[in-house]
Structure 1
């Protein structure tokens, strides 16, 4: 677990997003795309020990663009999906 990760979930109506990319530019491009759909907090970035960048941001899922809200309303968790091997 990364020292800045937290086991405490975000408050209701919010989601924590972690982006890991080879370059800071790639991580910022993904964050920018997410911000087009969700209001969010200031991003925080950290170097990845093996190289690359880890970017963290919190988004407000209750203040989402219409397209994101409709996706959230229709999406469902799948039994087949779970954490990646490097996630808790």
Structure 2
């Protein structure tokens, strides 16, 4: 397990987000979009063994704005709840 990863959200209504991208610019672009929809912590980035960038941030889903707020209010529970093949 990576010591930088948080396995559980810090508080109810918060989600830990991990972005893996080929470049730091691509990871930051995705994080910026998330910040336009949710209150979020400052991102933390780490290099991956393959030379990509992994970026972590925490978003507050209870402080959603704009389209994210309406989408969260009408969304159904997720069907694929579990780790991806490369996660444990």
TM score, norm. by length of structure 1:
0.88
- The Cα shift of 1:8 comes to 2.7
Where do residues 5-84 of structure 1 align in structure 2 (5 Å cutoff)?
Answer: 5-79=5-79, 81-82=80-81, 83-84=83-84
1:22-78, Cα deviation, whole Å (9 max, x unpaired): 000000000011111011110000000111100000111111113111111112234
Aligned residues: 87
Q: Which consecutive unaligned segments of at least 5 residues does structure 2 have?
A: none
- Match of 1:62, SS state, is helix
- The Cα shift of 1:10 comes to 2.6
Q: Which has the higher helix share?
A: 2
Q: Which consecutive unaligned segments of at least 5 residues does structure 1 have?
A: none
The list of structure 1 runs, each at least 4 consecutive aligned residues, that deviate by more than 2 angstroms after superposition, is 6-10
- RMSD after superposition: 1.4
TM score, norm. by length of structure 2:
0.88
